[in-house]
Amino acid sequence: MFLLLAACSTVRQETLPGSGYAVASWYGPDFNGRPTSSGEIFNMYAMTCAHKEYPFGTKVKVTNVANNKTAECVVNDRGPFVEGRDIDLSYAVAKEIGIIGPGTGKVFLEVDGRDMSYIRKVKVQSAGKSGPFAIQVGSFAESINAVRLKVALRLKYGNVYIQETELKGATYYRVRIGNFESLNSAVSTAEQLGQEGYPTVVTKADVKI
């Protein structure tokens, strides 16, 4: 039987990026109702956005330089994954600033702090201190959701893989990072992920959870 522990991520003082120009795009119906990289379900009518680097919970003021329309949104996803684009806005945000028709637009970004509730605790599930260990960041019934998270994690982390498993007659796709021979190394990386806003579980590499 595995022991489940909670390892609290220490809140670190972080320097958030400043203002700057960027190219914005938007996403909506094709992703509505699917999990974001932070684990939240994407709602195209909510004031959210996706960014490649900003920690989840980062508050961003977006101004369309073509018409000076402004909207505020919160980063809860990773993307965009198209070259030349810097931030992906939800349908609601894109509509607010007027880039639905053009599809993309030059914007000015201003970061205004962070919602620290996005920082996640690290869960450790292990039968001992002998490895190898893996960090599970998500488990999905649909493979496309696992692939999207894998692509998002690979923006910063190596050794990201999808492990397919059968549980009670159903197939699940687990997104993991690893493997780590040391439990401390696995927990350290998991804490970094937790600071960014990813939900994590440190477990034995071959354990089904």
State which of 85, 116, 147 marks the end of a domain. 116
Same domain, 104 and 15: yes
Across all residues in the chain, what is the average pLDDT? 90
Q: Could you tell me the CATH number of the domain that includes residue 199? A: 3.30.70.1070
Please give the pLDDT value at position 1. Answer: 39
Average pLDDT for 156-185:
93
pLDDT tens per residue across span 100-117: 999 999 999 999 999 999
Question: Rounded distance, CA 91 to CA 80, Å?
Answer: 14
Structure tokens at 154: 């690979």
User: Considering the domain boundaries, does residue 2 fall inside one?
Assistant: no
In a domain, 129, yes or no: yes
Measuring CA to CA, which residue among 126, 122, 121 is closest to residue 209?
A: 126
Please state the domain count of the chain: 2
Q: From edge to edge, which strands make up the β-sheet containing 3-7? A: 3-7, 122-126, 200-204, 133-140, 170-180, 160-167
Phi and psi at residue 108, to the nearest 5°: -115, 125
φ/ψ of 195, rounded to 5, equals -65, -35
Query: Residue 167: pLDDT band by 50, 70, 90 thresholds?
Result: confident
Q: Is residue 145 part of a domain?
A: yes
Residue 130 vs residue 200, higher pLDDT: 200
9-44: pLDDT as tens digits: 444 445 566 789 999 999 999 999 999 999 999 999
Average pLDDT rounded to a whole number, residues 154-164: 94
- Given this model, what pLDDT does residue 196 score? 96
35 & 87 share domain? yes
Checking if the pLDDT of 148 tops 90, the result is: yes
The dihedral through the CA atoms of 49, 55, 61, 67 has a sign that is negative
Is residue 3 included in any domain, yes or no? no
Residues 124 and 98 in one domain: no
| Residues facing residue 202 across a β-bridge | 124, 135
Other CB atoms closer than 10 Å to residue 36's CB: what's the count? 23
State which amino acid sits at residue 94: A
Q: How far apart are CA 132 and CA 173, in angstroms?
A: 20
Average pLDDT over residues 148-171: 94
Residue 157: domain span: 120-204
Q: Check residue 206 and give its pLDDT.
A: 81
Domain final position from 86, 116, 146: 116
Backbone angles phi, psi at 151, to 5 degrees: -60, -40
What pLDDT sits at residue 14?
56
Residue where a domain terminates, one of 116, 133, 163: 116
Residue 4 lies in a domain: no
Taking CA atoms, 66 is separated from 3, 63, 86, 99, in Å, by 56, 9, 17, 10
Nearest to 152 by CA among 71, 34, 60, 68: 34
Domain assignment present for 140: yes
